[in-house]
Amino acid sequence: MAAFEYTALATSGRKSRGTLEADSARAARQQLRAKGMVPLEISSAMEKEEKGSGSFLSGSPSLSVKNLALLTRQMATLLRVGIPLEETLGAIANQTRNQKIKRVVLAVRGKILEGHSFALALGNFPRAFPKLYRATVEAGEHSGHLDSVLERLGDYTEGQQQFRQKVQLALIYPVVLVFICILVVTGLMVYVVPDVIEVFTGTGQVLPLATRILMSMSDFISVWGWLVPPALGATIFGIVLMLRRPAIRYRFHHRLLDLPIIGWMMRGTQSARYVGTLAILTGSSVPLVQAMGIAGGVMSNDFLKDRLDAAQKSVREGGSLRKALEDIGYFPPMMIYMIASGESSGTLDEMLQRAAESQEQDLQGAVTAFVSIFEPLMLLIMAGIVLFIVMAIMMPILSMNELVV
């Protein structure tokens, strides 16, 4: 059976869209007519995905981390109680209200019923199921412990979702604060400062330096301020275009790792992602060398990815993982020590998991501390800007009082 997307007229006369399973498009139309619906359009979900997978605007389905974590947990739970995989997917598709998830699940189920493996069926949706996910599922199928592997994947994806959610929630207030600060300062410079300064310019007195600076800034914002957002957008767009060139992107990623604060967070994030990926793959019986190749592929920093390819080659030639990662120079010493302990004790996958968790906790603490410092810092900056505006306005007034006296 295959998955078909349909558009049909319900008995009420309204259009209805959804996904159903059938042996053919004709059988799908028969199912709709049996429900009292008039089929308008029937298309294979799998064919639609294959046609659109090469286009940026195709709408090729993808799943958020939250939906992927939920789907993985549901599959692991049903498989754990002994329900076959195809029935598991069918049950999930029937109970979900998310049409995107239903479309993907039914298409994967259709491929499995045609005789494909689970990992190969997931490979038809690379945007929904990342390379790490598919490789881990393949290892679980080969080892015969797909349910336990999916549970590990569920824990991993849920951890990713929780960390991302914490960061997003922590950044809401600072972002709103910055936006309000920009609006307030812009309003003062455009509507308040010009009217106040105009009083002093008519007196013919020499204005203080701070006042002249404030006047220049106000004039610039009033005349050219509307060009700032387009110029900023064009600059960002140009940087994005430049970073599409591999050589420029490689050098940029290298420089990022050496920056004082951003570099530390980048190194911590990348190392935690790499080691966490290694942990889940080696724990699913994936050979270490193969796991290193897959884990390197999920890295977002091209410079580190290149260095990790060299580390994989070193391990393939008989070197230790500790030595290979230590030679890179961007992994935390504590993480290297824990990996060395795992190699010597034969519990590498467990120590990799602990190292990844430890690094993620350090990152969460650093992000929390940064946000807690950022909030009062923005208030101080805002207060400093307002103080400068007030002082620039008050200084000519004080000068006029001195002349009168």
Beta strand spans in 28-141 (E) = 38-44
pLDDT number for residue 114: 81
Confidence grade of residue 96 (pLDDT, cut at 50, 70, 90): confident
249 with 102: CB under 8 angstroms?
no
Q: How far apart are the first and last CA of the chain?
A: 96
pLDDT 10s digits, 143-153: 677 887 888 78
b/e per residue, 364-389, with b = 16+ CB within 10 A?
A: eeebeeebeebeeebeeebeeeeeeb
Other CB atoms closer than 10 Å to residue 12's CB: what's the count?
6
**From CA 79, how far away is CA 145, in angstroms rounded?**
10
184-188, 227-231, 343-347: least confidently modelled range? 184-188
Phi-psi region of 204 (alpha: psi -120 to 50; beta: other; left: phi over 0): left
**From CA 313, how far away is CA 400, in angstroms rounded?**
77
Find where tokens 């598919």 sit: 134
Residue 405 has pLDDT above 50, yes or no: no
**From CA 98, how far away is CA 67, in angstroms rounded?**
9
41: helix, coil or strand? strand
Confidence grade of residue 312 (pLDDT, cut at 50, 70, 90): very high
Radius of gyration of the chain (CA): 29
Taking the CA atoms of 360, 151, 133 and 275 in sequence, report the sign of the dihedral they define: positive
Confidence grade of residue 59 (pLDDT, cut at 50, 70, 90): very low
**From CA 118, how far away is CA 130, in angstroms rounded?**
14
Cα–Cα distance list, 321 to 191, 291, 298, 342 (Å): 63, 12, 18, 10
Confidence grade of residue 308 (pLDDT, cut at 50, 70, 90): very high
More confidently predicted of 105 and 366: 105
What tokens were used for 293? 């190749």
**From CA 161, how far away is CA 164, in angstroms rounded?**
5
Nearest to 106 by CA among 126, 127, 123, 121: 121
Beta strand spans in 77-191 (E) = none
pTM, rounded to two decimals = 0.66
Q: Which residues contact 6 (CB under 8 A, 6 or more apart)?
A: 17, 18, 19, 20, 28, 32, 39, 40, 41, 42, 43
Residue 403 has pLDDT above 60, yes or no: no
Residue 237 has pLDDT above 90, yes or no: yes
Name the helix (H) or strand (E) containing 16: strand 15-22
Q: Which residues contact 377 (CB under 8 A, 6 or more apart)?
A: none
Other CB atoms closer than 10 Å to residue 333's CB: what's the count?
8
43 with 4: CB under 8 angstroms?
yes
Nearest to 344 by CA among 369, 317, 368, 321: 321
Other CB atoms closer than 10 Å to residue 321's CB: what's the count?
25
Mean pLDDT of 304-333: 90
Question: Whats the size of the chain, residue-wise?
Answer: 405
329 with 335: CB under 8 angstroms?
no
b/e per residue, 31-45, with b = 16+ CB within 10 A?
A: bbeeeebebeebebb
More confidently predicted of 2 and 336: 336
**From CA 389, how far away is CA 377, in angstroms rounded?**
19
Confidence grade of residue 13 (pLDDT, cut at 50, 70, 90): low
Residue 57 has pLDDT above 60, yes or no: no
